[in-house]
Amino acid sequence: MSELLLELFSEEIPARMQKKAADDLARLVTGKLKEAGLSFDKATPYVTVRRLTLHVEGLASEQPDVSEERRGPRADAPEKAIEGFLKGAGVSRDQVEVREEKKGTFLYAVIERKGRATADVIGDFLPEVIRTFPWPKSQRWGDKALRWVRPLHSMLCLLDGEVIPLDLGDGIRSSNMTQGHRFLSPATFKVSSFEDYQDRLKQSYVVLDRQERKSLIAEQARGLAEKAGLKLLEDEALLDEVSGLAEYPVVLMGEFDKEFLEVPHEALTSAMKSHQKYFSVVDGAVVDGDDKLTNRFIFVSNMKTKDQGAKIIDGNERVLRARLADTKFFWDQDLKSRLDDRLPALDNIVFHAKLGTVGDRVKRLVKLSGYIAEKIGADVAQAQRAALLCKADLVTGMVGEFADLQGLIGKYYAEKQGENAAVAGAIADHYAPKGPSDICPSDPVSIAVALAEKLDTLGCFFSINEKPTGSKDPFALRRAALGVIRLIVENKLRIGLHDLGAKAHSIHCLEYNNRTIEERMKVNSNPEDVSHIDISSNLFDFFADRLKVHLKGEGVRHDLISSVLALRGEDDLVRLLARVNALQGLLDTDDGVNLLAGYKRAVNILRIEEKKDKAAYDQAVAENLLSLPEEKDLFGQLNRVAEAAGTALAAEDFALAMTHLSTLRPAIDAFFDKVTVNSEDKAERDNRLRLLSHIRTTMNRVTIFSMVEG
């Protein structure tokens, strides 16, 4: 078995592209190997900032021999047809066999194809793989025709230590040579195997394995912080990024002036992370639920110096000082104006061409937040105040510099101008939850404003028919719907989705109808009153789809959700989920499974007979026509359960309602064992069909069992 080693050495590969590039290289090369019938044990990709490497172990040294049998035309076919077959098969006339078959005499060619050496196969496909490599962005440089993410300098390609001769053009040919760290060990050296390659790279200050670099950085960073009596602010995404910036990571610590700590710590950490790729350091004390930031920072250098990095630290401190000075300037300038004074500027920011400005949106949010606050028992005035100010930070210098801090910066400015704590908190929380892992607000005022923000988005975009299609969701409406669901479910809000959607839409319609004809024409070529449009049904269906996706992640079956959603008017998510959980509990028992089977049998018979008779059997059961003990018992049990389940449903004790339903199982089983539904007596037959309808009606009061699979 053979070993393949491939390295593509270039200028710096952007960190965000490295992992995918390594995976793509492994996928493309192994795909070609499999196509060629070349087996292998393992293929491992590696990537650093300057090299893309693939190591394939246990590779077959040559292709297997192939024997292929190909049937040709009849033996008495025209000569041109026979010549074409012979040419295509690569054989002569005396090499083919003539075989008698039922349909005639045919020519057969048996083609023996000798397997090629692995080096030859790789030499054929690898140049094309490299030339067509799927970089998100690539470039040409100088007079070179080859495209690569950055200028490609060399290619190492070895099979069992021997160079596979490849020529990419522009002077780039394969060899057994590579080089180490750009500054610490730039000399080239020969390589004979992967083990030799890895060892020589380590000696040349290159850590090839990405995970090893990550571990080194994390270990050194934590050690530096602990040595100073501090704590590293862990950031997995930043750690992953910086591990792709240095081939030989050296972790250093610097510091900045304490006066910058007057700026909100989120702004400082954002400046350090997004612009400089620095880790923040905290002292372990918790202030307002967050770790207290210190004036230290940790960064990764790609250099080892005799002065232990003193000059590198000094240079990074100067760069960060300038960056933080800009941040503090924005903070100080923003504090000179109140959030209220910034509101007129929102009228100059277009929210959407058909939906007006951000200023228009704020007016809608104020109305909707007040309505929701009243429904959930939150302070209406505080909710409306928070809604009024929640977008004001969009026109601040801080958000202009750090867009990811919108909302949070508004909270700090609200606190500085003396706003109520609930108002300031709602400004910070009104975008939340932004995703499935984001924390959901729990303060009533925050809930009201956060719900309003998402419902306004959904109501407005559904009003102009801008709905998600397929995988496209440019306005993040799926995320908004999931946010609404989480806010309601996690806070156990007893509020209907139909009501919320209708209110959001009505506020949008009122705002639209108050516009001038000219303003309406920008939205709709037919500028008529739109108050009559009802989107609540479409919006509820959208919520239902998102709810299924949300609960699927929690292991809840989609058919159980569909069966409860099919109940008319069930749009209270708290009650809906209680029904789903109770239904799940019922179906986890043998009685529940058998009851469902009996229900489906009853419904199937009923559906067939109703279709055949073109009549519905939903009338009351005539007790005097019940002749057999089993049907009398079932009728009595249905009446008892209907009453008991109805009482449980009224009390929203769905588990108890399901328990009552489960007691029907023996009576239903006995009915189907002893009673013939299609009696020769028409009156008796019709009455028994009404009894089946009674089963359907009684059970469907709890959920629509016909939509449950199984």
The model's pLDDT over 154-184, given as tens digits with 9 standing for 90+, comes to 999 999 999 999 998 878 999 999 999 999 9
Predicted local confidence at residue 554, as pLDDT: 81
- Express each pLDDT in 352-363 by its tens digit: 888 889 999 999
Q: Are 271 and 404 in contact (CB under 8 A)?
A: no
DSSP-derived 3-state class of residue 660: helix
| DSSP characters over 170-184 | TTEEEESEEE--TTT
Cis peptide before 127 (omega within 30 of 0): no
In this structure, of 48-52, 407-411, 534-538, 674-678, the range with the lowest mean pLDDT score is 534-538
* Closest by Cα among 645, 401, 357, 700 to 515: 357
Mean pLDDT of all residues in 210-221: 96
Beta strand residue intervals within 659-707, DSSP E: none
* Closest by Cα among 280, 300, 268, 269 to 233: 280
- DSSP symbol at 63: P
Q: Are 509 and 460 in contact (CB under 8 A)?
A: no
* Closest by Cα among 129, 121, 119 to 8: 129
State which amino acid sits at residue 123. G
Residue 479 has pLDDT above 90, yes or no: yes
Name which CATH class applies to 577-707: mainly alpha
- Express each pLDDT in 611-663 by its tens digit: 998 888 889 999 898 989 999 999 999 999 999 999 999 999 999 999 999 99
Predicted local confidence at residue 525, as pLDDT: 46
Predicted local confidence at residue 45, as pLDDT: 97
Tell me if the domain spanning 2-62+117-203 has CATH number 3.30.70: yes
Going by C-beta distance under 8 Å and a sequence separation of 6 or more, which residues neighbour residue 219? none
Can you tell me the distance from the alpha carbon of 448 to that of 438, in angstroms, rounded to the nearest whole number?
17
- Express each pLDDT in 236-279 by its tens digit: 999 999 999 999 999 999 999 999 999 999 999 999 998 899 99
- Express each pLDDT in 56-108 by its tens digit: 999 998 888 776 778 888 888 888 888 888 887 777 877 788 888 888 888 88
In this structure, of 66-70, 471-475, 666-670, the range with the lowest mean pLDDT score is 66-70
**For the chain, domain boundaries:** 2-62+117-203, 67-112, 210-333, 341-555, 577-707
Can you tell me the distance from the alpha carbon of 503 to that of 316, in angstroms, rounded to the nearest whole number?
54
DSSP-derived 3-state class of residue 470: coil
Pair of tokens at residue 394: 């969009």
Most confident range, picked from 284-288, 495-499, 533-537: 495-499
**Is the overall model pTM greater than 0.85, yes or no?**
no
Please give the mean pLDDT across all residues of the chain: 90
Q: Are 176 and 188 in contact (CB under 8 A)?
A: no
Predicted local confidence at residue 534, as pLDDT: 60
* Closest by Cα among 472, 471, 426, 473 to 453: 426
* Closest by Cα among 571, 568, 573 to 556: 573
Predicted local confidence at residue 275, as pLDDT: 86
Tally the residues of the chain.
Answer: 710
CATH code reported for the domain at 341-555: 1.10.3210
Can you tell me the distance from the alpha carbon of 251 to that of 404, in angstroms, rounded to the nearest whole number?
27
Residue 529 has pLDDT above 50, yes or no: no
Can you tell me the distance from the alpha carbon of 645 to that of 639, in angstroms, rounded to the nearest whole number?
10
Predicted local confidence at residue 526, as pLDDT: 47
Can you tell me the distance from the alpha carbon of 537 to that of 505, in angstroms, rounded to the nearest whole number?
12
Model confidence at 212, pLDDT cuts 50, 70, 90, reads: very high
Rounded to a whole number of angstroms, the CA Rg of the chain reads 36
Predicted local confidence at residue 656, as pLDDT: 93
